[in-house]
């Protein structure tokens, strides 16, 4: 890569990540006595940012799913005029028990909260 194109990639890096990170990259390479190309550094940084964004998105998605599961697990059941909050497992067993007895005083409904 020619010095001209290397300067252009350095400019792209500065626009993407800022001058302070570019200066930090230069200092790190001087301390390590290593040579690098700005294009390779830019591609590596962009890939790292994408990985962090994907990880954050997955974390957020899992939190939304956990909350949806929590809300889904709550059921409101009416038993002789009184509302009871049960887990869905309790709700299903209650519904099976009373539906087998044909008790007309039990009304079980699922509600989202």
Q: Give the pLDDT band of residue 95 (cuts 50, 70, 90).
A: low
Predicted confidence (pLDDT) per residue in 24-39, tens digit: 888 887 887 777 788 8
**DSSP-derived 3-state class of residue 106:** strand
Task: Give the Cα separation of 29 and 10 in Å (integer).
Answer: 14
The structural domains of the chain, with segments of one domain joined by +, span: 3-70, 74-109
Prediction pTM value: 0.51
Q: Give the pLDDT band of residue 106 (cuts 50, 70, 90).
A: very low
Predicted confidence (pLDDT) per residue in 48-94, tens digit: 999 999 999 999 999 999 998 887 776 555 555 555 555 555 555 55
Task: Give the Cα separation of 44 and 48 in Å (integer).
Answer: 6
């Amino acid at each position: 890569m020619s010095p001209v194109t290397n300067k252009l990639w350095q400019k792209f890096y500065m626009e993407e990540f800022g001058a302070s990170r570019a200066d930090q990259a230069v200092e790190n390479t001087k301390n390590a006595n290593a040579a690098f190309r700005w294009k390779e550094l830019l591609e590596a940084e962009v890939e790292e940012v994408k990985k962090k964004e994907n990880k954050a998105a997955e974390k957020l998605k899992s939190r939304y799913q956990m909350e949806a599961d929590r809300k889904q697990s709550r059921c409101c059941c009416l038993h002789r005029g009184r509302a009871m909050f049960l887990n869905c497992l309790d709700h299903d067993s209650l519904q099976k028990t009373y539906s087998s007895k044909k008790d007309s005083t039990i009304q079980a409904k699922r509600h989202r909260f």
